[in-house]
Amino acid sequence: MKAFLPKDQLPFLLEELGERIEVIAPVSTDAGPSFVTWQGQPLDLKDKPLTPITEFLLPHKEALFTYVQEAGRYIFKEEEIPSRLLFGIRPCDLHAIALLDRIFGREPPDQAYFRRRRATALVVQNCTSPGRECFCAGLEAGPEAKDPCDLQLTDVGDGFLCQAETPAGILILNAGRALLKPALPEHLQEKAKLLQEARRAMPQDRSCSQIRQAMERADWEALGRECLSCGGCSFVCPVCHCFNILDLGVPDGQRLRCRDSCMLPGFSRLTGGANPRRTPGQRLRHWYQEKFEDIPQITGLPGCVGCGRCHLTCPAAINRVDLTVASRFVDDSSEARR
Protein backbone atom coordinates (compact mmCIF):
# COMPACT_ATOMS: atom_id res chain seq x y z
CA MET A 1 0.00 0.00 0.00
CA LYS A 2 1.33 3.43 -1.00
CA ALA A 3 0.23 6.88 0.12
CA PHE A 4 1.46 10.44 0.42
CA LEU A 5 1.60 12.28 3.75
CA PRO A 6 1.99 16.07 3.57
CA LYS A 7 4.70 17.26 5.98
CA ASP A 8 2.44 19.37 8.12
CA GLN A 9 0.24 16.33 8.74
CA LEU A 10 3.03 14.22 10.30
CA PRO A 11 2.43 15.33 13.93
CA PHE A 12 -1.25 14.45 13.54
CA LEU A 13 -0.35 10.96 12.33
CA LEU A 14 1.96 10.53 15.33
CA GLU A 15 -0.79 11.77 17.63
CA GLU A 16 -3.20 9.20 16.20
CA LEU A 17 -0.61 6.48 16.65
CA GLY A 18 0.38 7.72 20.10
CA GLU A 19 -3.14 7.03 21.32
CA ARG A 20 -2.77 3.36 20.39
CA ILE A 21 0.87 2.55 21.14
CA GLU A 22 4.01 4.12 22.64
CA VAL A 23 5.69 5.95 19.77
CA ILE A 24 9.47 6.32 19.89
CA ALA A 25 10.70 9.07 17.56
CA PRO A 26 13.84 11.14 17.01
CA VAL A 27 13.13 14.40 18.81
CA SER A 28 15.15 17.56 18.61
CA THR A 29 16.82 18.73 21.83
CA ASP A 30 19.30 21.55 22.29
CA ALA A 31 21.93 18.87 22.97
CA GLY A 32 21.28 16.97 19.74
CA PRO A 33 18.64 14.56 18.44
CA SER A 34 17.62 11.51 20.42
CA PHE A 35 15.08 8.68 20.27
CA VAL A 36 12.54 9.10 23.07
CA THR A 37 8.84 8.58 23.68
CA TRP A 38 7.12 11.11 21.45
CA GLN A 39 4.78 13.42 23.33
CA GLY A 40 4.48 16.24 20.86
CA GLN A 41 8.12 17.37 20.90
CA PRO A 42 9.58 18.81 17.68
CA LEU A 43 11.11 16.08 15.54
CA ASP A 44 14.63 15.97 14.13
CA LEU A 45 14.38 13.82 11.02
CA LYS A 46 17.58 15.21 9.52
CA ASP A 47 20.38 14.27 11.94
CA LYS A 48 20.93 10.75 13.16
CA PRO A 49 20.82 10.26 16.96
CA LEU A 50 24.12 9.05 18.42
CA THR A 51 22.48 6.23 20.35
CA PRO A 52 21.07 3.75 17.84
CA ILE A 53 17.48 2.58 17.94
CA THR A 54 18.63 -0.94 18.79
CA GLU A 55 18.71 0.09 22.46
CA PHE A 56 14.95 -0.55 22.40
CA LEU A 57 15.54 -4.19 21.51
CA LEU A 58 18.72 -4.76 23.46
CA PRO A 59 18.77 -2.21 26.31
CA HIS A 60 22.11 -1.27 27.86
CA LYS A 61 20.69 -2.62 31.08
CA GLU A 62 17.62 -4.82 31.32
CA ALA A 63 16.07 -6.88 34.08
CA LEU A 64 15.47 -10.36 32.62
CA PHE A 65 13.42 -11.30 35.66
CA THR A 66 13.05 -10.59 39.35
CA TYR A 67 13.46 -13.29 41.97
CA VAL A 68 11.84 -13.33 45.37
CA GLN A 69 12.43 -15.90 48.07
CA GLU A 70 9.29 -16.99 49.88
CA ALA A 71 9.14 -19.81 52.42
CA GLY A 72 12.27 -21.45 51.08
CA ARG A 73 11.19 -21.28 47.43
CA TYR A 74 12.11 -18.86 44.74
CA ILE A 75 9.42 -17.12 42.72
CA PHE A 76 10.48 -15.67 39.36
CA LYS A 77 8.73 -12.90 37.51
CA GLU A 78 9.44 -11.54 34.06
CA GLU A 79 8.96 -7.86 33.48
CA GLU A 80 6.23 -6.59 31.20
CA ILE A 81 7.55 -5.63 27.78
CA PRO A 82 5.97 -2.44 26.41
CA SER A 83 4.62 -2.51 22.85
CA ARG A 84 6.37 0.17 20.85
CA LEU A 85 6.37 1.75 17.47
CA LEU A 86 9.87 2.88 16.48
CA PHE A 87 9.36 5.80 14.14
CA GLY A 88 11.92 7.42 11.87
CA ILE A 89 14.63 4.80 12.20
CA ARG A 90 17.36 4.81 9.56
CA PRO A 91 17.97 2.12 6.96
CA CYS A 92 21.37 1.44 8.57
CA ASP A 93 19.72 0.77 11.92
CA LEU A 94 17.06 -1.36 10.23
CA HIS A 95 19.84 -3.38 8.64
CA ALA A 96 21.41 -3.76 12.08
CA ILE A 97 18.08 -5.10 13.38
CA ALA A 98 18.04 -7.62 10.53
CA LEU A 99 21.53 -8.70 11.61
CA LEU A 100 20.56 -8.94 15.27
CA ASP A 101 17.53 -11.02 14.25
CA ARG A 102 19.88 -13.48 12.59
CA ILE A 103 22.37 -13.49 15.45
CA PHE A 104 19.84 -13.81 18.26
CA GLY A 105 17.66 -16.09 16.16
CA ARG A 106 20.23 -18.88 15.97
CA GLU A 107 19.25 -21.93 18.01
CA PRO A 108 18.38 -21.55 20.79
CA PRO A 109 16.73 -18.20 20.06
CA ASP A 110 17.30 -15.44 22.60
CA GLN A 111 13.88 -15.10 24.17
CA ALA A 112 14.59 -11.81 25.94
CA TYR A 113 15.48 -10.23 22.60
CA PHE A 114 12.52 -11.66 20.71
CA ARG A 115 10.00 -10.70 23.39
CA ARG A 116 10.93 -7.09 22.69
CA ARG A 117 11.34 -7.63 18.97
CA ARG A 118 7.86 -9.11 18.59
CA ALA A 119 6.30 -6.18 20.47
CA THR A 120 7.91 -3.65 18.13
CA ALA A 121 6.66 -2.04 14.92
CA LEU A 122 9.26 -0.48 12.63
CA VAL A 123 8.76 2.68 10.60
CA VAL A 124 11.82 3.51 8.54
CA GLN A 125 12.79 6.82 7.05
CA ASN A 126 14.99 6.53 3.97
CA CYS A 127 18.13 8.69 4.09
CA THR A 128 18.00 11.55 1.64
CA SER A 129 20.64 13.61 3.45
CA PRO A 130 23.33 11.30 4.85
CA GLY A 131 25.75 12.67 7.46
CA ARG A 132 29.44 13.29 6.86
CA GLU A 133 30.27 10.16 8.82
CA CYS A 134 27.95 7.87 6.84
CA PHE A 135 29.08 5.13 4.45
CA CYS A 136 26.11 2.75 4.46
CA ALA A 137 25.96 2.66 0.65
CA GLY A 138 29.28 0.81 0.42
CA LEU A 139 27.97 -1.85 2.77
CA GLU A 140 24.54 -2.08 1.10
CA ALA A 141 22.84 -1.06 4.34
CA GLY A 142 21.36 2.17 2.96
CA PRO A 143 20.47 4.85 2.04
CA GLU A 144 17.29 2.96 1.02
CA ALA A 145 15.74 0.45 3.36
CA LYS A 146 16.01 -3.05 1.90
CA ASP A 147 15.26 -5.06 5.02
CA PRO A 148 11.83 -6.05 6.30
CA CYS A 149 9.99 -3.27 8.09
CA ASP A 150 6.36 -2.30 8.55
CA LEU A 151 6.34 1.05 6.85
CA GLN A 152 8.86 2.94 4.76
CA LEU A 153 8.85 6.73 4.47
CA THR A 154 10.77 8.89 2.05
CA ASP A 155 10.96 12.65 2.36
CA VAL A 156 10.19 13.79 -1.20
CA GLY A 157 10.18 17.51 -0.43
CA ASP A 158 6.74 18.65 0.66
CA GLY A 159 5.77 15.37 2.24
CA PHE A 160 6.51 11.72 2.74
CA LEU A 161 5.97 8.90 0.32
CA CYS A 162 4.64 6.08 2.55
CA GLN A 163 5.03 2.46 1.51
CA ALA A 164 3.46 -0.13 3.82
CA GLU A 165 5.04 -3.54 3.62
CA THR A 166 3.18 -5.52 6.29
CA PRO A 167 -0.30 -5.69 7.81
CA ALA A 168 1.02 -3.62 10.70
CA GLY A 169 2.20 -1.02 8.21
CA ILE A 170 -1.24 -0.88 6.63
CA LEU A 171 -2.80 -0.48 10.07
CA ILE A 172 -0.43 2.40 10.78
CA LEU A 173 -1.49 4.12 7.57
CA ASN A 174 -5.13 3.41 8.25
CA ALA A 175 -4.78 5.16 11.60
CA GLY A 176 -4.00 8.33 9.66
CA ARG A 177 -6.29 7.69 6.72
CA ALA A 178 -7.84 11.14 6.85
CA LEU A 179 -4.43 12.78 6.63
CA LEU A 180 -3.19 10.89 3.57
CA LYS A 181 -3.30 11.64 -0.12
CA PRO A 182 -2.76 9.22 -2.95
CA ALA A 183 0.85 8.54 -3.91
CA LEU A 184 1.70 9.69 -7.43
CA PRO A 185 4.20 8.25 -9.90
CA GLU A 186 6.20 11.50 -9.52
CA HIS A 187 6.70 10.71 -5.86
CA LEU A 188 8.26 7.40 -6.77
CA GLN A 189 10.49 9.06 -9.38
CA GLU A 190 11.53 11.69 -6.86
CA LYS A 191 12.33 8.99 -4.32
CA ALA A 192 14.57 7.16 -6.78
CA LYS A 193 16.33 10.39 -7.73
CA LEU A 194 16.94 11.53 -4.14
CA LEU A 195 18.25 8.16 -3.06
CA GLN A 196 20.55 7.97 -6.06
CA GLU A 197 21.94 11.40 -5.08
CA ALA A 198 22.34 10.30 -1.49
CA ARG A 199 24.19 7.20 -2.60
CA ARG A 200 26.53 9.32 -4.71
CA ALA A 201 27.14 11.78 -1.84
CA MET A 202 28.68 9.04 0.26
CA PRO A 203 32.28 7.86 -0.04
CA GLN A 204 32.61 5.09 -2.63
CA ASP A 205 35.61 3.34 -1.09
CA ARG A 206 34.05 1.85 2.02
CA SER A 207 32.97 -1.62 1.04
CA CYS A 208 33.50 -4.64 3.24
CA SER A 209 36.45 -5.79 1.14
CA GLN A 210 38.01 -2.33 1.13
CA ILE A 211 37.80 -2.15 4.90
CA ARG A 212 39.35 -5.62 5.08
CA GLN A 213 42.23 -4.28 3.03
CA ALA A 214 42.58 -1.37 5.46
CA MET A 215 42.68 -3.94 8.26
CA GLU A 216 45.60 -5.67 6.60
CA ARG A 217 47.48 -2.41 6.24
CA ALA A 218 46.68 -1.16 9.75
CA ASP A 219 49.39 -0.81 12.38
CA TRP A 220 47.23 -2.10 15.22
CA GLU A 221 49.67 -1.36 18.01
CA ALA A 222 50.06 2.24 16.86
CA LEU A 223 46.26 2.58 16.76
CA GLY A 224 46.01 0.86 20.13
CA ARG A 225 48.36 3.39 21.71
CA GLU A 226 45.87 6.10 20.73
CA CYS A 227 42.81 4.16 21.94
CA LEU A 228 41.52 5.43 25.28
CA SER A 229 39.63 2.17 26.01
CA CYS A 230 36.38 4.04 26.61
CA GLY A 231 34.28 1.34 24.98
CA GLY A 232 32.28 4.07 23.22
CA CYS A 233 32.53 2.46 19.77
CA SER A 234 30.87 -0.69 21.05
CA PHE A 235 28.21 1.23 22.98
CA VAL A 236 27.05 3.23 19.93
CA CYS A 237 27.40 0.45 17.38
CA PRO A 238 23.92 -0.77 16.37
CA VAL A 239 25.34 -4.22 15.63
CA CYS A 240 27.41 -4.70 18.83
CA HIS A 241 25.42 -6.94 21.11
CA CYS A 242 27.76 -8.51 23.67
CA PHE A 243 26.40 -8.65 27.19
CA ASN A 244 27.11 -9.77 30.69
CA ILE A 245 24.65 -11.34 33.11
CA LEU A 246 24.59 -10.69 36.81
CA ASP A 247 22.28 -11.29 39.74
CA LEU A 248 21.87 -8.20 41.83
CA GLY A 249 20.41 -8.60 45.30
CA VAL A 250 20.37 -11.34 47.93
CA PRO A 251 18.05 -13.08 48.77
CA ASP A 252 15.65 -11.09 46.56
CA GLY A 253 16.74 -9.22 43.50
CA GLN A 254 16.99 -9.08 39.74
CA ARG A 255 18.85 -10.95 37.06
CA LEU A 256 20.30 -8.21 34.89
CA ARG A 257 21.62 -8.31 31.39
CA CYS A 258 24.07 -5.45 30.81
CA ARG A 259 25.86 -4.37 27.67
CA ASP A 260 29.52 -5.35 27.67
CA SER A 261 32.39 -4.21 25.51
CA CYS A 262 35.23 -6.21 23.97
CA MET A 263 37.29 -3.02 24.08
CA LEU A 264 37.71 -3.58 27.83
CA PRO A 265 40.56 -5.89 28.86
CA GLY A 266 38.40 -7.72 31.40
CA PHE A 267 36.14 -8.95 28.58
CA SER A 268 38.76 -11.44 27.40
CA ARG A 269 40.68 -12.02 30.64
CA LEU A 270 40.91 -15.70 31.52
CA THR A 271 40.37 -17.12 34.98
CA GLY A 272 44.07 -17.49 35.65
CA GLY A 273 44.68 -13.87 34.77
CA ALA A 274 46.16 -14.40 31.30
CA ASN A 275 44.61 -12.38 28.50
CA PRO A 276 44.67 -13.37 24.83
CA ARG A 277 43.90 -9.74 23.91
CA ARG A 278 46.17 -7.86 26.24
CA THR A 279 46.73 -4.63 24.39
CA PRO A 280 44.22 -2.06 23.15
CA GLY A 281 45.60 -2.71 19.65
CA GLN A 282 44.74 -6.41 19.86
CA ARG A 283 41.27 -5.56 21.11
CA LEU A 284 40.72 -3.06 18.31
CA ARG A 285 41.86 -5.68 15.80
CA HIS A 286 39.39 -8.11 17.31
CA TRP A 287 36.55 -5.60 17.05
CA TYR A 288 37.14 -5.27 13.30
CA GLN A 289 37.70 -8.98 12.80
CA GLU A 290 34.35 -9.73 14.42
CA LYS A 291 32.56 -7.25 12.16
CA PHE A 292 34.26 -7.85 8.85
CA GLU A 293 35.27 -11.51 9.04
CA ASP A 294 33.36 -13.44 11.72
CA ILE A 295 29.83 -12.01 11.49
CA PRO A 296 29.84 -12.25 7.66
CA GLN A 297 30.72 -15.93 7.98
CA ILE A 298 27.96 -16.54 10.51
CA THR A 299 25.18 -14.41 9.06
CA GLY A 300 26.18 -13.85 5.46
CA LEU A 301 26.16 -10.08 6.05
CA PRO A 302 28.93 -7.67 7.09
CA GLY A 303 28.80 -6.87 10.81
CA CYS A 304 28.99 -3.15 10.03
CA VAL A 305 26.16 -1.04 8.63
CA GLY A 306 28.22 2.05 7.81
CA CYS A 307 26.46 4.39 10.23
CA GLY A 308 29.81 5.94 11.24
CA ARG A 309 28.78 6.36 14.88
CA CYS A 310 32.04 4.79 16.09
CA HIS A 311 33.86 7.57 14.27
CA LEU A 312 31.58 10.20 15.84
CA THR A 313 32.08 8.97 19.39
CA CYS A 314 35.76 7.98 19.34
CA PRO A 315 37.68 10.43 21.56
CA ALA A 316 41.01 9.17 20.23
CA ALA A 317 42.93 10.21 17.17
CA ILE A 318 41.86 7.14 15.21
CA ASN A 319 40.18 7.28 11.84
CA ARG A 320 37.74 4.45 12.41
CA VAL A 321 37.24 3.71 8.73
CA ASP A 322 40.67 4.16 7.17
CA LEU A 323 42.28 2.70 10.31
CA THR A 324 44.94 5.37 10.42
CA VAL A 325 46.07 7.63 13.23
CA ALA A 326 44.22 10.87 12.55
CA SER A 327 41.96 12.91 14.71
CA ARG A 328 38.44 13.19 13.39
CA PHE A 329 38.70 16.82 14.45
CA VAL A 330 41.50 17.51 12.01
CA ASP A 331 39.75 16.44 8.84
CA ASP A 332 36.24 16.84 10.15
CA SER A 333 36.02 19.93 12.28
CA SER A 334 33.85 19.56 15.34
CA GLU A 335 32.28 22.91 14.68
CA ALA A 336 30.88 21.61 11.44
CA ARG A 337 29.13 18.86 13.33
CA ARG A 338 27.66 21.08 15.98
Partner 1 sequence: MEKVLTTCIYCGCGCGMFLHVDGGRIVGTSPSLAHPMSRGSLCIKGWLAADFVGHPDRLKSPLIRQGDLLIKTTWDEALALTAASLRSIQKEFGPQALGVLTSAKGTNEENYLLMKMARAALGTNNVDHVARLCHAPTVAALGFALGSGAMTGSISSLQSSDAILVVGSNTTEQHPLVASYILRARSRGAKLIVVDPRKTRLAELADLWLSPRQGTDVAWINCLLNIIVQQDLADRQFIKERTDGFIETLQATSAYTAEKAEEISGIPAADLVKAASIFGLASRGAIVYAMGVTQHFRGTDIVQALANLALATGNVGRDGAGVYPLRGHQNVQGACDMGALPNVLSGYQLLSSPQAQAKFVEAWGGQIPCEPGLTALEMLWAAESGSLKGLIIVGENPVLSYPHTSRVQKALKGLEFLMVSDIFPTETTALADVVLPAACFAEKDGTFTSTERRVQRVRKAVDPPGEARAEWEWICDLTERLGAKAEYSSPGDVMDEIASLTPIYGGISYERLGPDGLQWPCPTKDHPGTGVMHVSRFPHGRACFRPVLYLDPPETPDADYPFMLTTGRSMYHFHTGTMTRRTSLLDREVPTPFVKMNPEDARLMGIRDGTKVRVETRRGSISVEARLADGVHKGDLFLPFHFSEAPANALTAQSLDPVSKIAELKVSAARLKKEAP
**By C-beta, is 60 or 181 nearer to partner 1?**
60
Report the Cα 142 to chain-centroid distance in Å: 13
- 90-92-93 Cα angle (round to 5): 70
In degrees, to the nearest 5, what angle opens at C-alpha 159 toward C-alphas 39 and 21?
Answer: 30
The CA-based dihedral angle spanning residues 250, 252, 257, 262, taken in that order and rounded to the nearest 10 degrees: 0
* Nearest to partner 1 of 59, 296 (CB atom): 59
Q: Which of 95, 92, 191 is nearest to 134 (CA)?
A: 92
Does 287 contact partner 1 by CB under 8 A?
Answer: no
Nearest CA-CA partner of 53 in 149, 137, 138? 149
DSSP state of 290: I
93 is an interface residue for partner 1 by CB under 8 A: no
* DSSP for residue 15: H
* Closest approach of partner 1 to the CB of residue 123, in Å: 16
Residue 155 contacts partner 1 per CB under 8 A: no
Of residues 162 and 310, the one with the C-beta less far from partner 1: 310
**Interactions with partner 1, residue window 181-240 (CB under 8 A):** 225-226, 228-232, 235-236
Nearer to partner 1 (CB atom), residue 172 or residue 316: 316
Q: How far is the CB of 231 from partner 1 (least distance, A)?
A: 5
SS3 for 279? coil
Residues 22, 84 contacting (CB under 8 angstroms): yes
Residues 70 and 67: their CA atoms lie apart, in Å, by 10
Instruction: Return the number of the residue (1 or 36) whose C-beta is nearest partner 1.
Output: 36
Q: Binding pattern to partner 1, positions 46-75, x when CB under 8 A? A: ----xx---xx--xxxx-------------
How far apart are alpha carbons 128 and 99 in whole angstroms? 23
If one asks whether residue 30 binds partner 1 (CB under 8 A), the answer comes out as yes
316 near partner 1, rule: CB under 8 A: yes
Nearer to partner 1, 71 or 250 (CB): 250
Number of other CB atoms surrounding residue 24 within 10 Å: 22
Q: Is 42 in the site for partner 1 (CB under 8 A)?
A: no
Binding site for partner 1 (CB under 8 A): 24, 29-32, 34-37, 50-51, 55-56, 59-62, 79, 82, 225-226, 228-232, 235-236, 244, 246, 248-249, 253, 256, 258-261, 264-266, 273, 312-317, 325-327, 329-330, 334, 337-338
